[in-house]
Amino acid sequence: MTQSNLQTMGQQFGRRSWAEPWKIKMVEPLRLISREEREKALIEAGYNTFLLKSEDVYIDLLTDSGTGAMSDRQWAGMMLGDEAYAGSRNFYNFEAAVQTYYGYKYILPTHQGRGAEHLISLAAIKRGQYVPGNMYFTTTRLHQELAGGIFVDMIIDEAHDPQRPYPFKGNIDLDKLETLIKREGAENIAYVSLAGTVNMAGGQPVSMANVKALRELSDRYGIKVFLDATRMVENAFFIQEREDGYAGKSIAEILKEFCSYTDGAWMSAKKDNLVNIGGWLAVNDWTLFEELRNLVVVFEGLHTYGGLAGRDMEAMAIGIAESVQDDHVRARVGQVRYLGELLTVWGSPIVQPVGGHAVFLDARRFYPQLRQDQFPAQTLAAEMYLDSGIRSMERGIASAGRDPKTGDHYYPRLELTRLTIPRRVYTQAHMDVVAESVRAVYDAREQTRGLKMVYEPKYLRFFQARFERL
Ligand code: P71
């Protein structure tokens, strides 16, 4: 045990402890079923945590998407839903919130993030164009590919090394990007697909210096930069904490400055924006907006509701304002870091540094005896569930899917199991229970056998794939 393990989080930061800036008004009972029942449930789910019933899960760390707790104000806002088909008052509140906090001009609601990804991919990608980005995200890349784009990973090399403690592992490698532009020609680049933070790299941030330099480079070649803003508030926290000149700025100021270097953004509001469902798309260019506004009615709904109820847009408007409060973000990332530090001290292999939304277990180091096509991260997710009823998510070879050209698996360097922390839902004691379970699974690592995939759907296979024990 190191000294830091004996200190509270606040003490580790050199001051008195801080706590969540809210108290709990309503609770939802948890259920822990027996080991025998968990074994049965896991086999029925084909060893895929996406196929478990939520009722059979004790602590649910599958995702932070739509699983957060709304505030009393957001619930009050739900009662003010204006469910008009067109021009709902809640739309205008939502539009103003995005304009105020993210700074973009033209805003469209969508049912969730992938709805927005679909539209921007259709409007901004011509068949055969390249879409450089800082590591793929499953739904993002799929929509880019379905629109005829070719995704190319431009993240810095450090991001592919789970043990490399670099403060901005989400950064774009600008030399790689310029080489691609020169080789293929600027007209063959659809846009730069920039995500802050980078989910698949472990929730790793992009620095302000990197996005500024990216803006300059893109301007030189006349290329647009679109931002996946899904967890950009968390990214702003890391800039405030780690980048020179930003310690005295608020999360809201940092967020807005970062977005100002981009031409638009898509958003899964189910994360940072603290709602259970919703998304949006925002751009500064009127002509592009006109096209998107036309497309939204084809795939989502009228441009003033985009597949959402009025009440959903109201909750989102309030959630956006709450999400940029400094004390909220500090507590949110602080809880993730608490779990990460505990596991670090206990010697469990995790991605370093700990990112914004989750602790990622390094499955390769849990199970060096397994080949990657024996699904080490899927195996680890299954073992966590068996041990304690805790649900996590595979982020490795199953998630990466297959190369559309060769039909072979993609073999990502990162083979991770994600313990994703919902916002404002679990307590520090829950984090302790999670850490204890990780340790138990790690202790049993040598006896663990891998999995084989016995059913594989064509798109986003990890959601519905089924596995059996080897
Ligand atoms: C997450 C999710 C939800 C998810 C999606 C696909 C597979 C497994 C889980 C969704 C994101 C995201 C980023 C950076 C766009 C989306 C799509 N993440 N960008 O991490 O993280 O948004 O789910 O609202 O359609 O569990 P959507």
* Most informative mutation of 64, 118, 134, 137 for ligand 1 (most atoms within 8 A of CB): 137
Q: Which two tokens stand for residue 184?
A: 């293929």
CA–centroid distance, residue 111 to ligand 1 (Å):
13
pLDDT of residue 1: 40
Any ligand 1 atom below 6 A from CB of 138:
yes
Best probe residue, ligand 1, of 230, 308, 359 (max atoms within 8 Å of C-beta): 230
What pLDDT does 408 receive?
94
Task: Write the CB contacts of 219 (distance below 8 Å, at least 6 apart in sequence).
Answer: none
Q: In the prediction, which pLDDT does 17 show?
A: 75
Catalytic center residues: 85, 137-138, 228, 271, 395, 462
Find the 139 Cα to ligand 1 centroid distance in Å: 7
How buried is residue 437: exposed, middle or buried, by Cβ count under 10 Å (0-12/13-18/19+)? buried
From 67, 141, 144, 199, the mutation candidate for ligand 1 (largest count of ligand atoms within 8 A of CB) is 199
Cα–ligand 1 centroid distance for 138 (angstroms): 8
Residue nearest to atom 13 of ligand 1 (CA): 230
Closest by CA to 412, choosing from 195, 199, 105, is: 199
Cβ(74) – ligand 1 distance below 6 Å: no
Per-residue pLDDT of the chain (470 residues; tens, 9 = 90+): 444 455 666 676 677 677 899 999 999 999 999 999 999 999 999 999 999 999 999 999 999 999 999 999 999 999 999 999 999 999 999 999 999 999 999 999 999 999 999 999 999 999 999 999 999 999 999 999 999 999 999 999 999 999 999 999 999 999 999 999 999 999 999 999 999 999 999 999 999 999 999 999 999 999 999 999 999 999 999 999 999 999 999 999 999 999 999 999 999 999 999 999 999 999 999 999 999 999 999 999 999 999 999 999 999 999 999 999 999 999 999 999 999 999 999 999 999 999 999 999 999 999 999 999 999 999 999 999 999 999 999 999 999 999 988 999 999 999 999 999 999 999 999 999 999 999 999 999 999 999 999 999 999 999 999 999 99
Residue nearest (by alpha carbon) to ligand 1 atom 27: 113
Spell out a b/e string for 13-43, using b for 16 or more CB atoms within 10 Å of the CB, else e.
eeeeeeebeeeeeeeeeeeeeeeeebeebbe
Q: Which of 48, 75, 61, 137 is nearest to 421 (CA)?
A: 61
Is omega for the bond preceding 353 within 30 degrees of 0, making it cis? yes
Give distance in angstroms: CA of 85 to centre of ligand 1. 27
Q: How are beta strands 416-420 and 358-362 bridged, if at all?
A: antiparallel
The region that residue 8 occupies, defined by phi over 0 for left and psi between -120 and 50 for alpha, beta otherwise, is beta
The pLDDT, as a whole number, for residue 409 is 96
pTM for the structure as a whole: 0.95
pLDDT at 277: 98
Pocket flag, ligand 1, residue 140 (CB < 6 Å): yes
Pocket flag, ligand 1, residue 394 (CB < 6 Å) = no
Pairing between β-strand 279-283 and β-strand 358-362 as defined by DSSP bridges: unpaired
Q: Return the pLDDT at 265.
A: 98
| Residue 221 in tokens | 């070649």
Q: Looking at residue 5, what is its pLDDT?
A: 55
